Structure 1
Amino acid sequence: MTEAPTTTPTTTPLVVNTRAELRDARAALDGEDVAVVMTMGALHEGHAQLIREARLAAEHVIVTIFLNPLQFGPKEDLSRYPRTFDDDMKIASDAGVDIVFAPTPDVVYPDGDPGVRVSAGPLGDVLEGKSRPGHFDGMLTVVGKLLHLTGARRAFFGQKDAQQLLLIRRMVRDLDFPVDVVSVPTVRESDGLALSSRNTYLTASDREVALCLNRALAAGADQAAYGPSAIRRAARDVVVEEPLALVDYLVLVHPSTLQDVPEWYRGEALLAVAARVGTTRLIDNTPVLVGPGGGRLDVFSQPDADSTTARPAT
């Protein structure tokens, strides 16, 4: 579990809702060293950690709060998503945000449903994309728009959404966005549950069941020195003991291709799990180093996952 850096003095962010207001507020910032943290609201300590890391790295921080309708499929209830703007502002103030951009859909999509979207390609069709068709196209479309609108030089995203992070990196590289994408380790509760806005949907009993996800990741990572099969087996043994967690996938994949790693693989890999607990679908993951001396990692060692080492065992 990541630890928060030194507390930043509380500031009162400027809240802007329109493109013109954002443009004026952005122009008023001293210098061009601006970082952005993109959220859909319902902020928690994980978001606060992203903001604090951005605050340490850049002169100015913009937080976007936008519940993007393009990311929700026909079976996902957009109206159910928690809306906690006053609490969000308290977190933003405490973490040291300069500007909060909180637009409505008609501001982000002035012509209605956009006719042109960013395609996630094949990497968007597996894992989360298989369960949520079109989700990543909608995510990349709004991330691309917000990068343009905020003019940020750095964008901070959590390792918890590993597939999202990979796709954003690919979009930034493939489409030549002038921005650095920075990953921040997953923030967890004291019991190991990964922080998520969806945790508010969990009942007390659901929450106890949900703890098996992190236990599975930890068990798998503990076997990293013995290779992929040992990792998968140890993680699977934990989740099968919890019948109330309906597992969607539990995989060990290469961090840049999301393909299952072979038994000879040695290097960094992504151990990821998704499961439905009660009425709530949860995801979690951990980077692992596979092979002798391996184990759990906070984030991948290389800023670009394509450079992750993969070599046959000798």
Structure 2
Amino acid sequence: MHIVHTIDDLRRALKPAALRAFVATMGNLHQGHLDLMQMARQAVDARAPQGGMTVASIFVNRLQFGPNEDFDTYPRTFERDCEQLAANGCDVLFAPSEKDLYPEPQVFKVHPPADLADILEGAFRPGFFVGVSTVVHKLFNCVQPDIAFFGKKDYQQLMVIRRMVQQMALPIEIIGGETRRAENGLALSSRNGYLSTEERAEAVQLSMALKGLAAAARAGNAAGVLDVTTIEAAAMEALRARGWQPDYLTVRRQHDLSPLTGPCDEPLVVLGAAKLGKTRLIDNLEV
């Protein structure tokens, strides 16, 4: 695996590539990231076995962190990440410093539409999707991938990136990877490392609450009397009773994350975000 830090070095390393498959990360990798890397490797081997390259990036993006969030304490495990990427088929790792990627203040930014980016995560983390969209667009410009892989655990983020690629007419195929879970059902996340042993055992209750919410949505739809407000409130209260601080547990349409007013025959998704102790976790399940 070839490690580069500057945009010029990245472009030189990728110049011979007949096809580029890209996985963007903030490091502190878990099996979900490595699944995406393996998907990228498989895509290159299938589509361009003689001249394709897989590319990963590690960059903790300040622009997507709020003023009271964990940018300074976000886990940085570069050496271990490099070993894992190399073992899972990465050809080129782009690991820029802030000075490499933002040599001057990033005053040009990508602002996604409010109807998608200012709801759910965007409502609780103002500016988050501006930071995500800006860094992903910039990384796309640096890497110029043909295919890029993002995890479905960050469901709203994946939708924002898909919409950006479509709106900006970027020649990139976006592929979503399924959420990787621990044996007990907890969605893998780089922030799970903040959890104590007791909290890690409790953390699975977020996915359990979403399963219950999904079952209630299916039952309501089947009966033709889906009361979304009531089942969402019940799911929130069940988590509060266990000591969580939920931001939202909600049922939405898959295609645009818009809320429901009653029974719906479209594909649905349940999404949740809640704080356990000091750690904020997110998860989702397609219905």
Which residue does 2:41 correspond to in 1?
Answer: 55
Structure 1 residue aligned with 2:260: 261
Distance apart, 1:114 and its partner CA? 1.1
**In 1, distance between residues paired with 2:93 and 2:133?**
20
1:27 aligns with 2:15: yes
The residue identity in structure 2 corresponding to 1:140 is S
Choose the corresponding residue for 2:205, options 207, 212, 215.
Answer: 212
Q: Which runs of 4+ in 1 moved over 4 A?
A: none
C-alpha distance in structure 2 between counterparts of 1:194 and 1:179, whole Å: 27
Contact 2:36-2:149 within 8 A present in 1 as well: yes
Aligned to 1:168: 161
Alpha-carbon offset, residue 132 of structure 1: 0.7
Partner residue, 1:249: 248
Q: Percent identity?
A: 39
Instruction: Pick closer, same or farther for the CA change 1:126–1:177 going to 2, 3 Å.
Output: same
Offset of 1:230 from its aligned partner?
7.0
TM-score normalised according to structure 1 size: 0.83
Distance of aligned partners of 1:225 and 1:90 in 2 relative to their CA distance in 1, 3 Å threshold? same
Displacement of 1:234 after TM fit? 8.2
Alignment of 1:72-221 (within 5 A): 72-111=65-104, 113-122=105-114, 123-221=116-214
What is the distance in 1 between the residues matched to 2:110 and 2:236?
38
1:255 is displaced (CA, Å) by 2.2
Residue 128 of structure 1 deviates from its aligned partner by 0.5
Superposed CA offset, 1:197-226 (max 9, x none): 000000012112211111112223334532
* Counterpart amino acid of residue 282 in structure 2: I
Distance 1:227 1:167 in 2: 29
CA distance in 1, matches of 2:152, 2:237: 22
CA RMSD of aligned residues (A): 1.8
CA distance 1:124–1:214, shift in 2 (3 Å): same
- CA pair 287-98 structure 1, distance change in 2 beyond 3 A: same
Q: CA deviation at 1:227?
A: 3.2
- Name the SS of the counterpart of 1:160 in structure 2: coil
Which whole-Å CA distance do the structure 2 matches of 1:16 and 1:256 have between them? Answer: 37
CA shift at 1:20, angstroms? 1.3
Aligned length: 273
Cα-to-partner distance string for 1:226-274 (whole Å, 9 max, x where unaligned): 2353787289448615431111001101123322123221121110000
TM norm structure 2: 0.90
Contact 2:6 2:96 in 1 (8 A): yes
In structure 2, distance between residues paired with 1:117 and 1:183: 24
Give the C-alpha shift of residue 53 in structure 1: 1.0
Structure 2: which 5+ runs fail to align? Answer: 45-51
Higher mean C-alpha displacement, 248-257 vs 92-101: 248-257
